[in-house]
A and B are shown apart, each in its own frame.
Chain A
């Protein structure tokens, strides 16, 4: 069977109505605010680079590595986008990717689109960004950049996966509560997130080495 969705992508039928409405409202308001902030930061060069990164993240998400035992791993890219562009532009990069996956390929449910953008485009982005910034404060220089990117990528995925677990677990329609969904989602994504951390750190390291990018 080919892929039935992405890591962290919630399909239709998992979330209860209050969660569907709540995540949609929160995500729309956040994206409106993010758009106002992003607009001020976008130069023509950044706009072209952000478009390219969005396309690259879409392509990277198609490379899912199946793991024997019944799971898979692949890039999400929220932390990477946040480190390269800051969280406001990054959220829009992920929103465009996740929206395309949903509307064109039915990857992630339309009722869950608010939640999926919340998890990948807001939570992954902000956790990745804040972890990266925190590490850079403590660890100076290149080491801080690499370590920050690794931990940002890793923890961004772990927390985003956990958030999906919370949203599903707290949906009254769901037969099991967060005491089951959260540990399951957290454990999986804590493991899968290591690869995300390695890829995030590798791309950031490459761009820093080339000296072509000013990192947030």
Chain B
């Protein structure tokens, strides 16, 4: 692994470790809504996501874990999944 690639992975690890600060803690303090949710709320539109859920990691949570830890674990799971997919797709693309 090259030096710049190693640095990129350090940056990824750093982002995951601090992510609950933004995605959970600050969001709880300030009240997080994405622009689309705000618009939808204004329009009285129903988000039916929770009614047709298919994953145990809904909304970056892990069952049985506090939101902050769950968010970090979700980050690790997500990065691992993206990494494997990248390896399979991009790595397998070489002709």
Contact = CB atoms under 8 A, between A and B. Distances in A.
Interface of A: 1-14, 35, 38-40, 42-44, 46-56, 58-60, 62-68, 70-72, 74, 89, 92-93, 96-97, 99-101, 103-107, 109-110, 161, 164-165, 168, 174-176, 180-181, 184-185, 188-189, 192, 210, 212
Contact of A55 (B12, B52, B53, B61): B12
Interface of B: 4-5, 8-9, 11-12, 15-16, 18-19, 22-24, 26-40, 42-49, 52-55, 57-61, 67, 71, 74-75, 77-79, 81-83, 85-87, 89-91, 93-95
A101 B78 contact: yes
A92 B78 contact: no
A4 B37 contact: yes
B49 A13 contact: yes
Contacts, number: 230
B87 to A, nearest CB: 6
Contact of B27 (A9, A48, A66): A66
Nearest to A40: B95
Given A13-B46, A56-B12, A174-B43, A51 B83 contact: yes
Contact of B32 (A38, A48, A64, A104): A64
